[in-house]
Chains A and B, each alone.
Chain A
Amino acid sequence: MRQLRIEASNALCQLQDAGRLGVRHLGVTQGGALDWVAMNWANWLLGNALDAPVVEVALGGLSLLAEQDCVLALTGADLDARIDDQPLAPWRSFALHKGQRLTLRQPRQGVRAYLAAPGGFAGEAVLGSCSTVAREALGGIEGRGEALAKGQALRFAEGAPALREVPEALRPLYPAKPVLDLVMGAQIGDFSGTSLFEAFNSDWTLDSRADRMGSRLLGPQLVYQGAPMISEGIPLGAVQVPPDGQPIVLLNDRQTIGGYPRLGALTPLALAQLAQCMPGAVVRFRAVVQETAWREQQGYLQRWA
């Protein structure tokens, strides 16, 4: 095994993978990388399984010291990464030599960066996943839901895959005002006509109340006219509307069931885009039907086939 020593970290530097699947009927949340596209690319750069454990870093604040020579990969947000004092652009694999320091400092574009290592970072898989969920004390390096902590070691397999970049044409864009595809759900007809018009024709501003459970949006007040709902399963990306009329996009660490009406659910690609938006960013929704969205997603996945 090779390892990196963690010299600085915070609660938003976490081990993540594709999430904890097949256990939601037990009340266990899904977890997993918020920007799965960037996670996939980070693993692809090293020839890993696309869902191998990576480090998700939101906003920066991570510093790692190489204890051996190694090859790593960095994708996602530009967090002003440096190898010692040399700038390191994302979307590529790179060599980090023994004694060198990798730091992710602060956001310059996007919010979340993903760091991968050959074979994936070692973590204690709990219920089939290393994804860190602090609230449930599951996942992470030791399996107790803890974020990366100063002094800990990040371990991974030997191996030095050839250096490469993600082709420029395939890198996701982080537009200033993303349009997020929303698969229309069954309750959409129970919102007022005005609300439906506004939902898809207004600007929505990301509130600062945002975490891995959900992201609040501020805009016109949406009015639900249907009957009160009984709690039921909540899909990833659900856009739920509580009585205050301000939608919440439910993310990977959401609760498993809930009883607020929903406009529908964002597509996986929309969720990856949202994961790179800062509080204060403005987004729009575009209504899509399930079958079309599903076919587009299958097409997108071909790039890693």
Chain B
Amino acid sequence: MKPRIEVVAIDSLMVRLFDTIDEGNMPWILAASQRLRAAFGEHLIDLVPSYTTLMLQSDLAPAEARTRIGQALEGLQPDTGHSGRRHEIPVWYHASVGPELALLAARSGLSEDEVIRLHCARDYPVFALGFAPGFGFMGLVDERLATPRLSTPRKRVAAGSVGIAERQTAAYPAVSPGGWNLIGRTPVRLFDRERDGYSLLQPGDRVRFVAVSHTEFMALGGDDRPLEALA
């Protein structure tokens, strides 16, 4: 493992570990993140991990930052201790809150129940947070569920909406525009400024979606108003 270090801005460097998206990247990214945080300490301004990279912004001179990154990542080993957490996220899968559920079924030739079962059938690592606070890019979903983004994004997607784009899946933490195929909604608060760490999901965590009934969804504090009512 010989990471590449690239210039991105006056005070920022990109640490590139991989060239392709793979679930196997995450233990390495996580390990690199921990080592870099320790090595930079209070000199670290921001560290943004993503699928194959970590962007590091620091207050050190570029040459010094580069040296420190090199030293910190020497002999890097993947973090197999599962320091990331595992979350079970309840989802009410239903056409009124997941208008593309039928589309996914039609595309794959599966029943809607089969689509739901496949979406709940595996743990998804959180590759990166981005797009909005607490929005975790997860994957990869079963190939039969892979669906391109909507050609015209919705102006408004309800908070908690669970969607699929290509082979990635995510839940929208707050109302926002969005182009993902929606298949259900979770009552879980994904970003909460009162919570320690703010975001439920952190890069490297794993997520298992669990189908719940409408009754359970409401009991958990869900908002079942259909998309149109929220538009």
Contacts and interface: CB of A to CB of B under 8 A. Distances in A.
Interface in B125-171: 128-137
Contact of A232 (B45, B55, B62, B191): B55
Contacts of A184: 7
A21 B45 contact: yes
Given A255-B130, A294-B61, A238 B199 contact: no
Contact of B48 (A230, A256, A293): A256
Nearest to B130: A257
Contacts of A262: 8
A256 B52 contact: no
A289 B6 CA distance: 12
Interface stretch (B9-17, B84-92, B114-122): B9-17
A237 B62 contact: no
Given A236-B9, A265-B8, A230 B50 contact: yes
Given A231-B130, A238-B8, A293-B10, A25 B53 contact: no
Contact of B51 (A29, A230, A234): A230
Contacts of A1: none
Contacts of B57: 235
Interface string A288-305: 001101110100000000
Interface in B17-31: 20-21
B174 A137 contact: yes
A25 B9 contact: no
A268 interface: yes
A237 B9 contact: yes
B83 to A, nearest CB: 15
Interface residues on B, range: 35 or more
B144 to A, nearest CB: 23
A104 B9 CA distance: 34
A211 interface: no
A228 B217 CA distance: 40
Nearest to A28: B133
A114 B48 CA distance: 30
B60 to A, nearest CB: 9
A231 B48 CA distance: 11
B62 A24 contact: no
Interface residues of A, number: 44
A233 B10 CA distance: 14
A290 B130 contact: no
A267 interface: yes
A157 interface: no
B11 A233 contact: no
Interface string A218-254: 0000000000001111111110000000000000000
From B49, B62, B174, name the one whose CB has the most chain A CB atoms within 10 angstroms.
B62
Interface string A178-205: 0000011110000000000000000000
A134 B101 CA distance: 31
Interface string A1-44: 00000000000000000000111111111100000000000000
B199 A294 contact: no
B61 A185 contact: no
Contacts of B10: 183, 265, 267-268, 290, 293-294, 297
B188 interface: no
Given A26-B199, A127-B198, A233 B14 contact: yes
Interface in B45-93: 45-55, 57, 61-63
Interface of B: 6-12, 14, 20-21, 33, 44-55, 57, 61-63, 128-137, 174, 176, 191, 193, 197-199, 202-203
30 contacts: A21-B45, A22-B45, A25-B202, A26-B198, A26-B202, A27-B132, A183-B7, A183-B10, A185-B7, A186-B6, A186-B8, A186-B14, A230-B20, A230-B51, A232-B50, A233-B49, A233-B53, A235-B9, A235-B57, A256-B48, A256-B129, A257-B50, A257-B131, A262-B8, A264-B8, A264-B9, A265-B8, A265-B9, A267-B10, A293-B10
5 residue pairs, one from A and one from B, having the closest CB atoms: A233-B55, A233-B48, A186-B6, A235-B9, A265-B9
Given A27-B134, A233-B50, 12 more contacts: A22-B45, A25-B129, A25-B203, A26-B202, A27-B132, A127-B198, A183-B7, A232-B50, A232-B52, A233-B53, A234-B55, A294-B61
